[in-house]
Amino acid sequence: MDLTEYLNKIIDLVDEINKKGNHNFYLQMKNVLRIYYLGINNILVTKRVLKNISFDELDLSSRERDHIKNVGWLLDDNYVSETYLGVLKMNLILDSWVVLKSNKDLGKSNDLYENYGILIDSLYNSSEGTKTVDINLEGKRKIEIKKNEKIDISLEKVLELVKKIVGEFNMDKKES
């Protein structure tokens, strides 16, 4: 995964949402994506900037220096791939669910709402599917949830899922 390209996709989606209006749903989804963006962007900043800084040359208290050095955890590719990205994906999925659920009456598709609910239930069930369903994304791509099987969703598919949620809502005449 090219990190810069992925960050651009997140910003593109935020820009796409900006064009849709100021309904509370869109404002909430932009904030969800911005938080996700900052989490992913931390990897880029850490790998490109912080690893090249001499902390001794910065005017920092020892406590500040310790906290900044802890960002170095993101230099560990194992930690990033096995822990950090999983947590960011989970937060994006859960935060999007909260926005979707609080605006359910405005959406077009009950299938998306129901299948997303199964995804959430499954992720809370040791990341194993509680029911077999597919969440269709763009083209022929989909998120497959199979009962009693581990769920593994790529970063690309998580972002496509958020894009689908945004696409399910048409607030052109319902601005608040």
* Encoded tokens for 49: 């900037």
68 lies in a domain?
yes
Whole-number pLDDT of residue 173:
41
- Write down the pLDDT at residue 101: 87
Q: Is 173 inside a domain boundary?
A: no
Instruction: Determine the residue type at 68.
Output: I
Q: Is residue 154 situated within a structural domain?
A: yes
Written as six digits, the tokens of 28 are 């909430």
C-alpha 145/C-alpha 168 separation (Å) is 20
- Residues with Cβ < 8 Å from 25, sequence gap 6 or more? 99, 103, 106, 169, 171
Predicted confidence at residue 175, as pLDDT, reads 45
- Report the chain's C-alpha Rg in angstroms: 18
Query: Is residue 153 in a domain?
Result: yes
Of the candidates 152, 142, 137, 144, the one whose C-alpha atom is nearest the C-alpha of residue 90 is: 152
In a domain, 174, yes or no: no
Domain range enclosing 7 = 3-167
pLDDT per residue, tens digit, the chain (176 aa), is: 799 999 999 999 999 999 988 789 999 999 999 999 999 999 999 888 877 877 778 888 989 988 888 888 888 999 999 899 999 999 999 999 999 888 877 666 678 888 888 999 888 877 788 999 999 898 889 999 999 999 888 999 999 999 998 888 765 544 44
Residue 61 covered by a domain: yes
> Total domain count for the chain?
1
Q: Which two tokens stand for residue 62?
A: 């020892």
Residue 159 lies in a domain: yes
pLDDT reported for residue 108: 66
Report the predicted TM-score, pTM, of the whole model to 2 decimal places.
0.86
Smallest CA-to-CA distance from 145 within 159, 131, 155, 156 is with: 131
For residues 116 and 106, give the distance between their C-alpha atoms in angstroms, rounded to a whole number.
16
Beta strands in the chain (DSSP E): 133-136, 142-145
pLDDT score recorded for residue 176: 45
Neighbours of 29 (CB within 10 A): 25
